[in-house]
Structure 1
Amino acid sequence: MLIYSQSPLYSIEKIQSLDEKTSVSIEGTVAEIKPEEEVKLKRKRTKEKLQKFQLRDETRSIWITLWRKDTEQLRGTSVGDFVRVINLKTNWYHKTLSLNSTDYTRIYKVQSAAVQNVTVKIEGVIKAGGMESELEVEINHQLNTFIMSSRLLADALGIKLQGDFEDKLLEMLPFTGKAEIQGNRILKLQKKSKPMRI
């Protein structure tokens, strides 16, 4: 295993007072994870992968942008996880501070989000892919975005993953069930059984 030297660890509040392109490390709780996207870069005239996530500590919250292969480091990370992210660069844009990944950025999970058993109502589909699906889910009268393995989702709903999976999925909605969640990820899902009438 390679050991990377770590730039100084700062609070988000302290980072607000640093200059552009200062090397920093940070730790906190993952508050939000945006889907991976491709952007066209003006200078290089190429498309690059990026993914943003928000980190919150006891002082404030800040957006971190992971570029290219660094996006893979977010796999297995959920909202609610406590992580340390090392070797980032500060980026000021229109008086707003964010952090960008570098070739030496690494994400270390310090503590995973707690697993909870809840009743969910799947209201909509943002994206249904072969591997994962992004869903609009209502829990306790609040609508949130959750990610779930498409295979587990298909099994829970009793539909096939092949063909027009997204269309079949939409026909089944809204769907209410019991779920095991961790952060913004649904780990297990089963249809809520109806009470028996006597």
Structure 2
Amino acid sequence: MHATEALPRPSSSRRRNRAGTIAVAALAAAALAAGGVALTNAYFTSQATVTGESVSAGTVVLSAGTASTSAPIDVDGLLPGDTASTVITVSNTGTEDLYFSAGDFALTGDTTLQDALQITVGDTTTSYTASLTEWSTGSLDGFALAAGDSTDITVTLELPATAGDELQGLDAGFSITFDATQQRNVPSPAPTFS
């Protein structure tokens, strides 16, 4: 029988070197594999641009003034039972259809007369009557106006026949505000005073 010689065992520092070499080789192989994957994931791409798109916002513009066939209300010596009227032309000078309201009167003068005066505001389809005082905090909604169109709003003032002597010599004045909003994307307002 042959005697087998035992091979000397590598020293512990050699074993560490060999383990380090294996670890470095494994890391290098992993890095190469990752780089190889990255290279194989390249894709063809393309891009196209469409030009010529543009946006222009519409305009909602309302103008109002005393109609050419009318004059502002200007009454001296108003007595119970008297009325006076004016016609206001409201125009949509913007590019879009709109809804508008009339009201929110700015008042001057004596509050006692303001409470007594009855004011009717409206067109041929929608109108409302309230005291001048009520009009200072309310408005009539429900008017519509196409772009480029105009309409006439009649304002009638009345001192009721039942007015008392305490109103003699008093005066009052007012101005009317017209507010507009776009029609598109807005629910149609019902003719209401609020």
User: TM-score category by the smaller chain?
Assistant: under 0.3
Larger radius of gyration: 2
Flag the structure with higher strand content.
Answer: 1
TM-score, with length taken from structure 1: 0.21
The answer to which structure, 1 or 2, has the higher relative contact order (CA under 8 A, 6+ apart) is 2
TM-score, with length taken from structure 2: 0.21
